[in-house]
Amino acid sequence: MTSNSNIDTTPIQIFDTTLRDGEQSPGAAMTHDEKLEIAILLDEMGVDVIEAGFPISSQGDFRAVTEISKIVKRASVCGLSRAGFKDIDRAGEALKGAFRPRIHTFISTSPVHMKHKLNMGENAVLEAVGASVTRARNYTSEVEWSAEDATRTVPDFLCRCVDVAIQSGATVINVPDTVGYSTPQEFFDIITMLRNRVPNADKVIFSTHCHNDLGLAVANSLAGVLAGARQVECAINGIGERAGNAALEEVVMALRVRKDIMPFTHNINTTLLNRASKMVSNHTGMPVQYNKAIVGKNAFSHESGIHQDGMLKNVETYEIMRPEDVGVHATSLMLGKLSGRHAFKDKLETMGYVLEAPVFEDAFRRFKDLADKKKHVFDDDIAALVDDGIMRGKDTISIKALRVEAGTGIVPVASLTLEAEGAVRSVTVSGDGPVDAIFMAIREAYPHNAALQLFQINAVTEGTDAQATVTVRLEENGRTVTGKASDTDTMVAAAYAYVNALNKLLVKREKHAPEALTVAR
């Protein structure tokens, strides 16, 4: 693709879209407080731009962009908008409190999108590009323009659109591979073409936004960087529409580990990657696959004898990066029922958790309960316990009591007391199995129409006394949400996970889906 002689080593800007494109993943709805918590961590991690939402799409997104604008200390905060003035004005309003506001406006440029989605011809699209960028510049000097479906756009037309965007004042030109169709060489050529052909291309930053439909999102993004792009759009754990976006942790670690062929710097504190991955997984309810690069549970485990032998002789035999570099620490100290507040606090701090007093006290009480039931409490147990407490603390529907009877020769029965929106209700319901009885009891105590799409149980650690993490996915009117909970009692975890999903559904009901992405003026 290129040699690295005479390469421009301008630092790479990391643009995180976990809270916008990431939240568009099916089932990934996050509560307002969860979004703020993620934004604070991204800012601390050194992300350069945080895309906090799509302000016109819902009241919830508007509020998230508004609040994140106020709390973020160093990153640019970005709001997405289509090309219509209403969208841009709404984004401008939401970003008012940001110290570095950025409006990201986009329109489709490929023949298939222009014909079937926009019903617009080339001239109308060019006009919309100019008008939208000019409008956005009234609000801020940081204006990013995206050619949606750029990689399936006719090259000459793409150049003309980018030219108009630059002339109208865009400072960042984003080149999305919206449908994840491109390949590294092709993506390299598109960025190279734009930089070579469009007048004043050297006055703007080119950006990549690659989807992962063919599993090439990270490779394409890095090819874009080699071709001169200096911003990479990505998301923690690679979440996003369909197969997702380029994974932030993979892009950043590839740049770090392969500095020999990609000599670029970035501002990311990589030791926070593992924590960010866990936080995003917990808040979205989307599990991270075990063999996921960088942040998967197995990313640093060596199972085969040959590998273990090599590792004992010299870690460089099989390890290209150190687990500590991404915030994974060996379990140095296992906690048990005799561990006190101090040891628990120390452990939380090494894991990156700083809890306020009431949250800490609640976590400590639940840790003691867990240590009574389980001989050894591992780091993963503590992470599950703390994250679970944080999630439950914000719920508006909560379980007050649960009793389940099941076994051979009896009909499974669940007796449940639920508090919802201030009212307490107790029910006793039988079912085909204990989980069925619990879910039917919740449905009776809090009637709703959501359909169960997924029920999944995972052990947090090994052993029969391990905690179970239960994942429940519910669907209502085309909206899906995922709830999660952990407990040593799988039935209790199942009940909490279902209620956690219901709570998320309540949040998501506020958020109406964005209209079809067409130009709204």
Binding site for Zn ion (CB under 5 A): 21
User: 């439909």: which residue's tokens?
Assistant: 213
Is 16 among the residues that bind ligand KIV (CB under 6 A)?
Answer: no
Instruction: Return the one option of ligand KIV, Zn ion, none that residue 113 interacts with (CB less than 5 to 8 A, by type).
Output: none
Choices 171-179, 436-444, 472-480, 497-505 (CB under 6 A): range interacting with ligand KIV = 171-179
Minimum separation from the CB atom of position 412 to ligand KIV (A):
46
Toward Zn ion, which CB reaches closer, 21 or 380?
21
Give which of Zn ion, ligand KIV, none residue 237 binds (C-beta under 5 to 8 Å, depending on kind): none
Max CA separation in the chain (angstroms):
79
Strand order through the sheet with 479-487: 451-459, 468-476, 479-487
Rg (CA), the chain: 25
Which one of the spans 37-45, 157-165, 172-180, 262-270 is the region binding ligand KIV (CB under 6 A)?
A: 172-180
Could you tell me how many helices (H) and strands (E) the chain has, helices first?
16, 14
Nearer to Zn ion, 205 or 239 (CB): 239
If one asks whether residue 230 binds ligand KIV (CB under 6 A), the answer comes out as no
SS (H, E, C) 187-198: HHHHHHHHHHHC
151 near ligand KIV, rule: CB under 6 A: no
Is residue 178 near ligand KIV by the rule CB under 6 A? yes
Considering CB distances under 5 to 8 angstroms, the limit depending on partner class, which of Zn ion, ligand KIV, none binds residue 469? none
Single out the segment in contact with ligand KIV by CB under 6 A; choices: 173-181, 343-351, 372-380, 440-448: 173-181
The residue behind tokens 């994942």 is 471
> Does residue 145 bind ligand KIV (CB under 6 A)?
no
Q: CB-wise, 250 or 380, nearer to ligand KIV?
A: 250
Of the two residues 210 and 390, which places its CB atom closer to ligand KIV in the complex? 210
404, 411 Cβ separation under 8 angstroms: no
Q: How far is the CB of 239 from ligand KIV (least distance, A)?
A: 13
498 makes contact, choosing from ligand KIV, Zn ion, none, with CB < 5 to 8 Å by partner type, with none
Say which entry of Zn ion, ligand KIV, none residue 367 contacts (CB below 5 to 8 A, set by partner kind): none
End-to-end C-alpha distance for the chain, whole angstroms: 42
Phi, psi of 85 (to 5 degrees): -65, -35
Q: Using the 8-state DSSP alphabet, how is residue 55 labeled?
A: G
Does 176 contact ligand KIV by CB under 6 A? yes
Identify the residue among 25, 66, 69, 146 touching ligand KIV (CB under 6 A): 146
User: What's the min distance (Å) between Cβ of 209 and Zn ion?
Assistant: 6
Map tokens 């200096």 to a residue: 230
Q: Is the dihedral of CA 439, 441, 445, 451 positive or negative?
A: positive
Q: Number of residues in contact with ligand KIV, rule: CB under 6 A?
A: 9
Give backbone dihedrals phi and psi of 246, rounded to 5 degrees, phi first: -60, 135
Paired residues of 51 in beta bridges: 78
Residue 87 contact among ligand KIV, Zn ion, none, beta carbon within 5 to 8 Å by kind: none
| Number of residue whose CB is nearest Zn ion | 21
Q: Which of residues 320-339 bind ligand KIV (CB under 6 A)?
A: none
CB of 95 to ligand KIV, least distance (A): 17
What value, to the nearest 5°, has the Cα angle with vertex 10 and ends 8 and 13? 135
Could you say whether residue 106 binds ligand KIV (CB under 6 A)?
A: yes
Q: How many CA atoms lie within 13 A of 469 on its CB side?
A: 23
* Residue 146 binding result from ligand KIV, Zn ion, none, given CB thresholds of 5 to 8 Å by partner type: ligand KIV
Q: Which does 148 bind (CB under 5 to 8 A by kind): ligand KIV, Zn ion, none?
A: ligand KIV
Token digits of residue 193: 């073409």
- Nearest of 416, 376, 382, 408 to residue 498 by alpha carbon: 416
Of the pair 209, 484, the CB lying nearest ligand KIV is at 209
Nearer to ligand KIV, 81 or 168 (CB): 81
What burial class does residue 16 get, using C-beta atoms within 10 Å of its C-beta: 0-12 exposed, 13-18 middle, 19+ buried? buried
Closest CA to 221 of 190, 200, 263: 190
Q: Is 483 exposed, middle or buried (0-12, 13-18, 19+ CB in 10 A)?
A: buried
Residue 180 Cβ vs Zn ion, minimum distance, rounded to whole Å: 9
484 binds, among Zn ion, ligand KIV, none (CB under 5 to 8 A by kind): none
Instruction: Name which of 148 and 387 has its Cβ closer to ligand KIV.
Output: 148
Who contacts 82 (Cβ-Cβ below 8 Å, separation ≥6)? Answer: 56, 105, 106, 107, 132, 517, 518, 519, 520
Give 153 or 503: the residue with its C-beta nearer to ligand KIV. Answer: 153
Residues that bind ligand KIV (CB under 6 A): 21, 106, 146, 148, 174, 176, 178, 209, 211
